[in-house]
Chain A
């Protein structure tokens, strides 16, 4: 059970599928173990709750959204709005599987200062701990024949408990899930185990075994330093070491309320089942909802680079800066299109990948994002329910040979500057738009994904994801996209993280702007060689004092 708890790498992924040796080898990794998703995915009526509005969508966008949502509601008969206070999103269907997404509007941004990790530890105590009447090992035994699990995912503002079970096991499974969330046991032995797990995840699994995820997470940490988003969702090691069971009880009492809850159900559940779930979860205290607004981080306007020294073969690179756009914003479709064109996740259909990997063989892949996408090295599509008010634009350069570190960083900056300067052509705009229009179907292939996206759409105040994306993309022009690039992606607040073994030498080369020519093992076209001459001396506009070297054992402390 719960091997997929979000602060851990799923075991079959972590070892890249050691269970089937070598399965990780690939042009790109396919999911070794399919996500727990449901069938009968393509349902067009998975919307409607967008009408409840977003707290965070800009008002002009919201008006258009509301009109669109109203139209949708006219034919959206399968979605049931409950009169109760607990909002419920239902995607009924003929599948023999039933999926749950029990979503609380709380997360690591709600960790009290000095208690970073409390939200995640609380969630793990529910999903991987006992109830008052059953110990955790009894729960594991009970779930075993059903092959089902209860999983928790904690992000900054959302904590979601997910699970899927066969309809034959629904009553039994639901009784366990309900008690785990509503009647937790908070046992000392569970607390000790799960706190150790969290510390070891940060200290060993992330800090010392996975440079790519380390780099990406540290980028978020430095962009959001001093902000409620400014620590890993799992917490900080020094804070975790001080947390107590009383802290966990307190967090549960303060943040697990009916007013912060949305229930999501999908699949072939019985007609009266949602009523039952509603009634049970109405036991949670109502109280006032902690609706926090999180601001764009205040960052000084210059480039800053952090080089993390670690004894490792190659160099992992992540760069990015905060943007003022999220999925509820008017410009989000335009920026999502830019990210797809520039660096579609794990796809050779993207510009960066073609320039850095395909043309030059620098590494295994190069991607760009406008939304948080953790565990990207293990999965092809993002998990839902990671919705946030604040997002960053991010470029992920997968590990490069140490001698090419500076060249690769320069190449990324060169291409980023080129994107700002040239934008997209009409042709690249159209092909990317066509891709994204269809790709929405892949993102929401399964019932579980559809349910997750529907919950996220509700958060952002947009109609159901597929309809929204397709509608917005149809309206978009290349002019809109290039204007959005100028508006949102031109930043003087770039932050860069590199993880490498020879940190001091790399720092020296960066601050002195030392040329970094690249040597190839095969002839390259003239066009590439000419471009390389520019890249190898491409000026990195960073002041010496803004390039720091940190020892890896300081990260997540």
Chain B
């Protein structure tokens, strides 16, 4: 065991001073990081919200790790399987323990991570840690329950399938990526989901590859002390064996031409358009991602010229959103728009493209840049409203860098970025050869 860091950050109340906040950290809590010898990391974040604890276990395995053809959707499937029993706890026993704890318990998967979480009263911490430790180290599920659970995954696909944007997103990624696993969504392709019941052995392999301490971080937030958290982690997770699998994620070759696709949707819908450019990977050191993070609300957010024109003044669009997540590999910077009248699709597309082009030429207004930094700062502060909310906010950064400190580094980077940086970086990424456009509209023109 070696204790790495015990950082002392500004207190939350210190955030109430704008001056201090400007110079201070974005993430306002004290936290401690401990690395066990097996590679498992524990992040403990005591808060002053009484009684409750949020336990988030982040596994750095998402649909990005699904490299074999025909095996999309397994990170997500596995998230389901983790509730199907372990050596010392049947699913029923697990449910009983969590019910007794009055816990909220669930899990989510995305492209880069799978997150398991429980929120519960502090007196139940040990029983929940013991329970969690068993499934992470000793998962045990019969083939029959594996097959049944694969149907619940299909049920999840089904409940999503009524939404046209699910399909649009699927086609967008399939078009924009040719080699990288970001080509498929986290749900996976329907044909792969339908084949899941036949892949019990593969599921065991997936568990053995990724459910290892070196890929996992335990985050405990709330009414908990560092000593207690560490003692329980060592007690219940100390014997977890590390693995040696390293996924060979295919590199996406440079895109050499603009791409486009269209989706004909059988049910009545308003048309949708997604305009995407390949963007940079997450970094708290290089300016690329941070600069485009700052640009995204200025160019496409609710106070942007484009939004004001398309949504408020001309009222040709009723949804205009920018999507630009944090990922370990380059992903998409996407504008989504829902268009009220099919005849305006081309106009809206051109307006979006003109906006991208504009910011490759013009520098952003410095006042607006400051307002955006302010927005990020307050937006983060407003999220810190319960221990589980803090844990949830931190989880994505834990998946990327295994420390909340990356949040502070990123915000420090935001402060360094100039209007000229943004223009230069926009020019680098928003090129025609880096672009994918997908439209979706009703096959019969109905809305």
Contacts and interface: CB of A to CB of B under 8 A. Distances in A.
Contacts of B331: 21
Interface stretch (A139-147, A222-230, A253-261, A536-544): A139-147
B140 interface: no
Interface stretch (B233-241, B262-270, B427-435): B262-270
16 contacts: A18-B336, A19-B322, A21-B111, A21-B323, A22-B187, A25-B110, A37-B389, A39-B385, A165-B378, A166-B16, A193-B312, A200-B270, A400-B158, A435-B102, A439-B102, A445-B119
Given A34-B392, A96-B16, A25 B108 contact: yes
A137 B308 contact: yes
Contacts of A133: none
Interface string B140-157: 000111111111101110
A204 B301 CA distance: 23
B98 A349 contact: yes
B107 A26 contact: yes
Nearest to A24: B160
Interface in B229-266: 266
Interface in A28-59: 28-31, 34, 36-42
A401 B80 CA distance: 19
A509 to B, nearest CB: 20
A547 B188 CA distance: 37
B13 A21 contact: no
Given A39-B47, A364-B155, 7 more contacts: A20-B326, A22-B187, A29-B108, A97-B381, A144-B372, A166-B16, A361-B150
Interface in A294-347: 310-314, 316, 346-347
B351 interface: no
B382 A148 contact: yes
Interface string A210-252: 1110000000000000000000000000000000000000000
A428 to B, nearest CB: 10
Given A15-B166, A26-B107, A144-B371, A208 B268 contact: yes
Contacts of A357: 152, 155
Contacts of B197: 521-522
Given A208-B269, A401-B154, A26 B104 contact: no
B404 interface: no
A117 B395 CA distance: 40
B366 interface: no
A39 B269 CA distance: 40
B447 interface: yes
A431 B152 contact: no
Given A96-B381, A196-B340, A14 B388 contact: no
Contact of A27 (B79, B297, B332, B378): B79
A364 B148 CA distance: 11
Contacts of B308: 137, 140
A533 interface: no
Contacts of B363: none
Contacts of B328: none
Given A22-B187, A41-B385, A521 B158 contact: no
A136 B102 contact: no
A94 interface: yes
Nearest to B367: A145
Contacts of B101: 438
Interface in A413-468: 431-432, 434-442, 445-448
A527 B270 CA distance: 48
A491 interface: no
A456 to B, nearest CB: 19
Interface in A390-426: 398-401
A432 B375 contact: no
B39 interface: no
Nearest to A525: B144
B362 interface: no
A72 B47 CA distance: 28
B162 A448 contact: no
A419 B408 CA distance: 53
A209 B378 contact: no
B323 A522 contact: no
Interface in A242-298: 268
Contacts of A148: 378, 382
Interface centre among B52, B149, B269, B382 (most CB of A within 10 A): B382
A524 interface: yes
B325 A20 contact: yes
B396 A522 contact: no
A524 B151 CA distance: 14
A520 B197 CA distance: 11
5 closest A-B pairs by beta carbon, nearest first, are A438-B102, A22-B186, A361-B151, A522-B147, A147-B379
Nearest to B158: A314
Contact of A204 (B110, B270, B334): B270
Interface stretch (B131-139, B313-321, B414-422): B313-321
Contacts of B148: 358-361, 520-522
A193 B211 CA distance: 49
B303 A144 contact: yes
B302 interface: yes
